[in-house]
């Protein structure tokens, strides 16, 4: 599973570094491995908004990368036109028809990039005001973006659970023979 997340970790950490630089911060360290990644930096010079933008950068960049791949390469395999999280999860899952090449590519994209959309504990420390604010902003576009992020994270959790179950099953089969 580790090699599948390397691209997602790279995009996640690159997004932090890029937005840090764009908001006036200085990146002092950048590390990516198949297991984890980290960016060390000075606080962005733009007060309040700089740290928030740096914290949500992986979500924004991840969605943009997935949107570009989905639109241009997969002919819009994922579209979210609802603000209902369950509808979005079903729509993402229905995009994963196992009999098509597009579904396998989409699954790899989800495992690589989608799983890294979720904020880390450090990110949550900076974006909690945005999370609270998002409940008071009545914007269909914002609701659709947040719905897509929640759906992608949920689908990724489901995919990881299925992979873990498959590994356990395969390990048990190997030991019985």
The rounded distance, in Å, linking the Cα atoms of 172 and 156 is 24
Which pLDDT score, from 0 to 100, does residue 100 have?
75
Neighbours of 53 (CB within 10 A): 20
Tell whether pTM > 0.75: no
One digit per residue, the tens of pLDDT, for the chain of length 177 reads: 455 678 888 888 999 999 999 999 999 999 988 778 889 998 888 888 888 888 888 888 887 887 777 777 666 555 666 666 667 667 766 666 777 777 777 777 766 776 677 777 777 777 777 777 777 777 777 776 777 666 666 666 776 787 788 888 888 777 765
**Residues near 167 by beta carbon (within 8 Å), at least 6 away in sequence:** none
Which pLDDT score, from 0 to 100, does residue 81 have?
65
């Amino acid at each position: 599973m580790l090699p599948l997340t390397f691209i997602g970790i790279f995009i996640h950490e690159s997004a932090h570094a890029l937005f840090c630089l764009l908001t006036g911060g200085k990146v002092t360290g950048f590390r990516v491995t198949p297991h984890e990644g980290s960016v060390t930096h000075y606080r962005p010079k733009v007060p309040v908004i700089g740290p928030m933008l740096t914290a949500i950068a992986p979500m924004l960049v991840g969605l943009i990368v997935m949107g570009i791949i989905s639109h241009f390469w997969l002919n819009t395999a994922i579209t979210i036109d609802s603000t209902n999280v369950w509808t979005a999860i079903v729509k993402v899952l229905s995009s994963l028809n196992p009999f098509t090449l597009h579904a396998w590519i989409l699954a790899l994209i989800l495992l690589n990039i989608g799983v890294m959309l979720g904020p880390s504990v450090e990110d949550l420390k900076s974006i909690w005001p945005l999370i609270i604010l998002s409940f008071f902003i009545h914007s269909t576009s914002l609701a659709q973006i947040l719905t897509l992020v929640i759906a992608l994270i949920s689908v990724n959790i489901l995919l990881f659970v299925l992979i873990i179950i498959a590994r356990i099953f395969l390990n048990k089969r190997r030991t019985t023979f």
